[in-house]
Structure 1
Amino acid sequence: MVVKFEYGEGLMEAVLPDDRTDVFIPGETIPDPPCIPADALEEATRQSILHPIGMEPIHKLVRKSSTVCIVFPDRVKGGFQANSHRKTAIPIILEECLKAGVEKKDIQLICSNGLHRKNTKEEIRSILGDQIFNEYWWTGQIVNHDSEDWSNLVDLGTDEDHNPVIMNKKVFESDFVACIGHTTGNPYGGYSGGYKHTATGITHWKSIASHHVPAVMHRDDFTPVNSHSLMRRKFDTISMHMEKRMGRKFFMCDAVLDTKARQIAVFSGYGQEVQPASWAVADKRTYVSFAAQKYDIMIFGMPQNFHYGNGMGTNPIFIMQAASAQIIRHKRVMKDNCVMIFSSICNGYFHDQEFPSYRETYDLFQQDYHQTLPDMADHGEAFAMKQHYIDAYRFNYGFHPYHAFSMMSCGHLAEKHCSAIYCVGAYEPGFARGMGFKTRSSFAEALQDATKYVGSSPRILALPLTFKTAAVHLCMKDGR
């Protein structure tokens, strides 16, 4: 069979054996559960918000003098369609607050970008829609979280597990905080949304450095992906410490999304109860029973522009992280000595303006006795304190300098769990080799070389469109 894989802005073909290759495309190979019909979506969301789990409804939580904060995820995930979860849920929450007497001037909307770059005005508009944008943007009531603005941060000490908790001050001081989340498969702790949203989106790099680090991500409980790892516990304890110190619970409104970011179900209320309820529904779409036998080789392709932005599929640190995310998601169906092969133009395009610290981080990895990615962990704090990178994050739409180190922590997992990793079609193969990849010009050459690890008749898992759709976590057909 001929399978086409993403390759920069185009595609690269691979000729794969019909009898030993399984192709999986999320939402197509095995259909998603049905989403809420478009004409019923607003009412379903409204009923979820009006009847929250484990909390009083909004009209009992706010009054005329209340200050309200609505926290919403950034552009990285969640969809931009007219009836996306953000565009559906936020107007209903605003309506309930205003009906209960809250004054419009006392409402703030905060984009929970965490260490990601701040979202531009037009990106915010595309996330929220014209009506909400025009009502609140021009009065300064829609802002990005700034994890380096100490005039709007509060240090809450440490949680019960000694994780540092530093959070957005406006959120901390608000009388009512609604968090709009997306329950979608995530290699970091199983799912986005819930307490992951608050633990990463409105905090500081020191809080994020308590879980996006080798000591957490390289544990046996992290891979394959699950919702019971130490990382997931840290999301919970950090967010619950925020709630304890605020003296109130986050009002969460999380939608379980399908491959096209459509809502399968909506759950609102207390995070400790919303998470298991939403996960139970999301599991049916996300943990997919698929493989009859384990695979020797995983093949996929990287576009230039996906997830974090343009350059994700060319920046060598991001390439390694994306490869590792595939292992985290699909380790259940891969043999212990598996091989990974992917296409990437890998042309040395770091996109320095958007990811300003990444080139220096990569260069440092090539020097000074750094043998594996975990050797870089001790430099995270030094980079996080470099003022020119902080300024780029705060004022010029750059990712925070610590972000590169969180990506490197994940990136080591591909090396840890694979016999070999091949980057196919690199324009500048030295960048790929600098991350530990083997380089070949074609899938055919990589497959031929891989026989030394997996034999002459390997079983192959082909994953076209894997970075163009909302991913799943593949499992064995017997549920393992």
Structure 2
Amino acid sequence: MKYLTYSGNHLINAKLPDNSEIYYPQPAKPGVRRSEIPEHLKKAVENPLGMPPLKELVNGNSKVLIAFDNNCQPFPMTKKPDMRQVILEALLPMLYSYGVEKKNIQLICAGGLHRKMKTHELAYMLGRKIMNEFYPYQLRNFDAEDRDSIVDLGKTGKDEIVEVERAVVESDLVIYVDTIQIPLNGGHKSVAVGMGTYNSIAPHHSPHMTAESPHVMQPGGSNMHDCIERMSRVIQNHSKIMVIEAAMNNQIYPTGFRQLGKPNAQCNGFEKMLKTLTPPALSLLPEALRYKIFKGIRTDYEPIEINAGAIDAVHSETLDAMKNQLMIDVPKQFSTLVFGLPDMSPYAIGARINPVLVVSDVLGYVFNWFYTQPLIKKGGVVIILNPTFEVFHEEYHVPYKKFFEEVLAETTEPFEMQNQFQEQYAYDPYFIDCYRNKFAYHGFHPFTVWYWATYALKYLSKVILVGPKDDRVAKKLGVDWAKDLEGALGVAKEISGEDDVVALTMPPFLYVNVQ
């Protein structure tokens, strides 16, 4: 059986056992066109869920903070105009019409411990008009290390520190604009994490949260999300928050590429021909050109629906919409998962994926994309197809490079690295300077993505990397290596005693619901 999938910036026809199962994402649900978004937004803020209409929340004296996601969601980057631009260009005139003065509005890109957005990235997300009107004095990146802009709100009932951006509590109204593509994001996570500090993020981005409960990627049954919610409740005691959540469909591919996310049975003759010819054609191109081609793709995401109001009421609707778009019913668990990972990660926008992200994207994200139970049986095997180049963006991934070279050389066990290295990296003056002034991820960030793999690392019997020319990078990552997929499948069969193989075609994204 042929399995068309990615391996970095390449498409390959991988050979699976004939009795294997391949699961595909649902087709994209109909979305709200960009031209229709202002009308949908107006209806949402005039009829919000769980709170009064927007016009009753503000007046001529109101200070308003508008926060929005950075470019890690939705990802890959959308075509222009970006959803944030369309929403904000409709929202701002509404605020003015309700009496809010422009001088009393702040815009913050709520990136938490992610890297700050460069000026051109903000311009891509928000458009030239908003940039000209607000940047740089009323539009900025959140800075988790600017102590003058952080307030301590005390602790949760479980003794967790709650620190947040000062503007959140000093504004009369906080409006969070959220474009959500998976149920990991949105809800209580938006303000509490997007404008939280290391002291507040460390308690929930911890191996203690995921060691016994694998739920990271959606709130149900998640220790991590429960902790975030406790912090959010404390923040809400000090701030009035309206969220605007756009639940996105999964139309990642533009026309001309959509066949990559569909089974042959759903493809027309031309699409089938493209699926056949693309892998050998890409083989003729150098890696640098393949990288440029795939990084140049702009997605066709559209909102399935747009809701505004109180966090709980709105996010409940968002989660339902997400489940309707993402959920795939699967009749059983499997012994072996084969997954081809593209050169794509929410933490590698504008960069190549690095080896740490290869592991975390598959074991932290894909493994955890389920509603009921993991797709893989306990003691199963995950085979990752990716060349896994030892490449680290010289600006963005500064702490990742040292994490790979120093931490993983010592241990791959999440609790051990937490005890030995976490605070050293979190408080390192060089990493803090790189985060604040040089567009790097925070020193703690590589730990967070590795921690999300805590459950999978304990649950699986083997993780096998196929793609690198030798076992060097696999050894550093603490996983196994095979020179080809046939060899990896042979190892998996020795463990399970059978060919019980499942493969996933992503992107677009999906969550499994194992019966």
TM-score (norm 2): 0.84
Aligned equivalent of 1:259, options 243, 246, 250: 250
What is residue 413 of structure 1 aligned with on the other side?
A: 455
Identity, in percent, stands at 25
- Does residue 433 of the first structure (1) align with residue 475 of the second (2)? yes
**SS of residue matched to 2:7:** strand
What is residue 342 of structure 2 aligned with on the other side?
A: 303
Deviates more, 1:45-54 or 1:215-224: 215-224
What is residue 138 of structure 2 aligned with on the other side?
A: 141
- Does residue 23 of the first structure (1) align with residue 22 of the second (2)? yes
8 A Cα contact 1:184 1:256, kept in partner: yes
What is residue 474 of structure 1 aligned with on the other side?
A: 512
Deviations 1:401-424 (A, max 9, x none): 010111121133332221211100
8 A Cα contact 1:191 1:227, kept in partner: no
Aligned equivalent of 1:214, options 207, 218, 230: 207
Deviations 1:354-401 (A, max 9, x none): 111122222333455x36232101221121110000000000110000
Task: Judging by fraction of residues, say which structure has more strand.
Answer: 1
Aligned partner letter, 1:10: H
Aligned equivalent of 1:70, options 63, 66, 69: 66
**SS of residue matched to 1:53:** coil
C-alpha separation in 2, matches of 1:177 and 1:332? 37
C-alpha separation in 2, matches of 1:268 and 1:437? 44
- Does residue 343 of the first structure (1) align with residue 339 of the second (2)? no
- Does residue 166 of the first structure (1) align with residue 163 of the second (2)? yes
TM-score (norm 1): 0.90
Q: CA deviation at 1:442?
A: 1.4
Do the aligned partners of residues 99 and 128 (structure 1) sit closer, same or farther apart at CA in structure 2, a change above 3 Å counting?
A: same
C-alpha separation in 2, matches of 1:285 and 1:193? 16
8 A Cα contact 1:183 1:194, kept in partner: no
C-alpha separation in 2, matches of 1:70 and 1:282? 24
C-alpha separation in 2, matches of 1:131 and 1:39? 17
8 A Cα contact 2:111 2:142, kept in partner: yes
C-alpha separation in 2, matches of 1:337 and 1:311? 36
8 A Cα contact 2:464 2:479, kept in partner: yes
Structure 2: which 5+ runs fail to align? 252-300
Q: CA deviation at 1:225?
A: 5.0
**SS of residue matched to 2:107:** strand
- Does residue 33 of the first structure (1) align with residue 29 of the second (2)? yes
C-alpha separation in 2, matches of 1:219 and 1:335? 15
C-alpha separation in 1, matches of 2:126 and 2:119? 11
Aligned equivalent of 2:316, options 276, 287, 295: 276
C-alpha separation in 2, matches of 1:86 and 1:122? 15
C-alpha separation in 1, matches of 2:65 and 2:44? 19
C-alpha separation in 2, matches of 1:159 and 1:106? 31
C-alpha separation in 2, matches of 1:271 and 1:376? 34
8 A Cα contact 1:54 1:269, kept in partner: yes
Superposition pairs of residues 94-133 of structure 1, within 5 angstroms? 94-133=92-131
What is residue 287 of structure 1 aligned with on the other side?
A: 327
- Does residue 229 of the first structure (1) align with residue 268 of the second (2)? no
C-alpha separation in 2, matches of 1:396 and 1:288? 41
**SS of residue matched to 2:179:** strand
C-alpha separation in 2, matches of 1:72 and 1:154? 20
Do the aligned partners of residues 226 and 17 (structure 1) sit closer, same or farther apart at CA in structure 2, a change above 3 Å counting?
A: farther
C-alpha separation in 1, matches of 2:341 and 2:382? 13
Superposition pairs of residues 312-323 of structure 1, within 5 angstroms? 314-323=353-362
Structure 1: which 5+ runs fail to align? none
Q: CA deviation at 1:106?
A: 1.3
- Does residue 399 of the first structure (1) align with residue 441 of the second (2)? yes
What is residue 9 of structure 2 aligned with on the other side?
A: 9
The number of aligned residues is 460
C-alpha separation in 1, matches of 2:51 and 2:510? 31
Aligned equivalent of 1:182, options 179, 184, 196: 179
**SS of residue matched to 1:306:** coil
Deviates more, 1:207-216 or 1:83-92: 83-92
Do the aligned partners of residues 6 and 417 (structure 1) sit closer, same or farther apart at CA in structure 2, a change above 3 Å counting?
A: same
Q: CA deviation at 1:112?
A: 0.6
Deviations 1:221-253 (A, max 9, x none): 63785523221112212112112023xx21100
